[in-house]
Structure 1
Amino acid sequence: MSSCTDKRRAEDLTVEWVRRLVIGEGLCPFASPVFSRMHTEVYSGNDANEATSAFMDLLQKVAEADPDELPTALFVTPRLFSDFDAYWNWFLVCDNLLVQLGYEGRLQLATFHPHYVFEGEEEDDLSHYTNRSPYPMLHIIREDDIEEALASVRYPERIPERNRQHMRRLGRAGLLAKMPELADTPVFESEEPEK
């Protein structure tokens, strides 16, 4: 399979994951209004420095764009950061760059990974699946969009717990029923990948 085909598959699967699970299961209140204008960028290389540079370019592009034209973006790395700890360290670097570039208060990052683990939860707790995406990715969000969406949500502080409970009710079988394609992704691998 060519790298172009791999890249297209990663993009298509990511967009479907957002459509069917993030929006379809009501996990994120501000995803639906911006979905049709969401930009998905796939970095298909395996060089962490290159990926960081490409991410910074996308961050700047979102920051400078008209919010109506480019409200949000996903940066997907299918061939990098398969280990969650390595991914988290990379996220911290990217978050620091966001601050250094002066975008704090305007943009923020949300984190998603096939092996996402919330601190304080059992490793096999199904609540982790609220943030388990087909590939490692960072989501660039405009803070104004978050505030606007949360203003129309009753008890926004309850969203994380509601989502965790929903994942526990769905279970692995329920998730696969909603999106069978996840069976062939790292989300449902039985063991953590090597670093």
Structure 2
Amino acid sequence: MPDTLTPACAATRDWVEGFVVAHNVCPFARRELVNDSIRFVEVSAAQWEPALQALVEECRRLDDTPQIETTLMLLRPGLEDFDDYLDFLDVAEALLIEQGYEGVYQLASFHPDYCFDGAEQDDPANFSNRSPWPMLHLLREAGLEHALAHYPDPEAIPERNIERMRQLGSERLAAELAALRGQ
């Protein structure tokens, strides 16, 4: 997208390319990266109300800009604590429904401390949803459905990711994530 990227957004773009695409965590990310159809935006989440308003504005931007397929909304500062992030995510999902976007847009969640429900914190599988910063991934439902319809065995993606992350191991994955975050 033609917007100038903040340093955190540029690092997140590097994460998409150097981690998500490199490890094929999302088999559809490469196409969107090559097509320059991913919007990266940084929003302060120190106060939830303006951050939630920014989410609604991103939905409206997607409504008005069909060449943007997806938005990665970095939420910094404000949601460094994973439990706070999950609370925010619940409110954000309810807001999308309230605003009439259910079935139009979907939220995927990423956080540096992401931990799947019931998983151990150090399980490498968590890295499939770990990112340099807390973020919401706003996806077009229609685009996602189209991509999944043309992908063999899409139901196997999560299991394949878990297996791949466990093969790579927590130490390597943590080092890669820290390097992409500039630590």
TM-score over 0.5 for the pair: yes
Match of 2:64 in 1: 65
SS at match of 1:167: helix
Offset at 1:65?
A: 2.3
1:178/1:84 CA distance change after superposition, 3 Å: closer
**Residues 43 and 75 of structure 2 are in contact (CA less than 8 Å); yes or no, is this contact kept in structure 1?**
yes
**Residues 113 and 134 of structure 1 are in contact (CA less than 8 Å); yes or no, is this contact kept in structure 2?**
yes
Give the Cα separation in 1 of the matches to 2:142 and 2:19.
23
**Residues 113 and 137 of structure 1 are in contact (CA less than 8 Å); yes or no, is this contact kept in structure 2?**
yes
RMSD value, Cα? 1.9
Amino acid at match of 1:133: S
- TM-score under structure 2 normalisation? 0.88
- TM-score under structure 1 normalisation? 0.83
Match of 2:122 in 1: 124
**Residues 29 and 150 of structure 1 are in contact (CA less than 8 Å); yes or no, is this contact kept in structure 2?**
no
Give the Cα separation in 2 of the matches to 1:44 and 1:20.
25
Which deviates the most, 40-49 or 125-134?
A: 40-49
Give the Cα separation in 1 of the matches to 2:181 and 2:69.
30
SS at match of 1:109: strand
Match of 2:52 in 1: 52
Match of 1:170 in 2: 168
**Residues 20 and 179 of structure 1 are in contact (CA less than 8 Å); yes or no, is this contact kept in structure 2?**
no
User: Where in structure 2 are the equivalents of 1:11-90 lying within 5 Å?
Assistant: 11-35=9-33, 36-44=36-44, 46-62=46-62, 64-67=63-66, 69-90=67-88
Offset at 1:48?
A: 2.1
1:124/1:45 CA distance change after superposition, 3 Å: closer
Offset at 1:46?
A: 2.4
Amino acid at match of 1:138: L
Give the Cα separation in 1 of the matches to 2:170 and 2:118.
21
Which deviates the most, 7-16 or 112-121?
A: 7-16
Give the Cα separation in 2 of the matches to 1:128 and 1:27.
12
Identity across the alignment (%): 37
Amino acid at match of 2:107: L
Offset at 1:180?
A: 5.7
**Residues 131 and 177 of structure 2 are in contact (CA less than 8 Å); yes or no, is this contact kept in structure 1?**
no
| 2:144 equivalent to 1:146 | yes
Offset at 1:96?
A: 0.7
**Residues 124 and 173 of structure 2 are in contact (CA less than 8 Å); yes or no, is this contact kept in structure 1?**
no
Consecutive unaligned residues of structure 1, counting only runs of 5 or more, are 1-6, 186-195
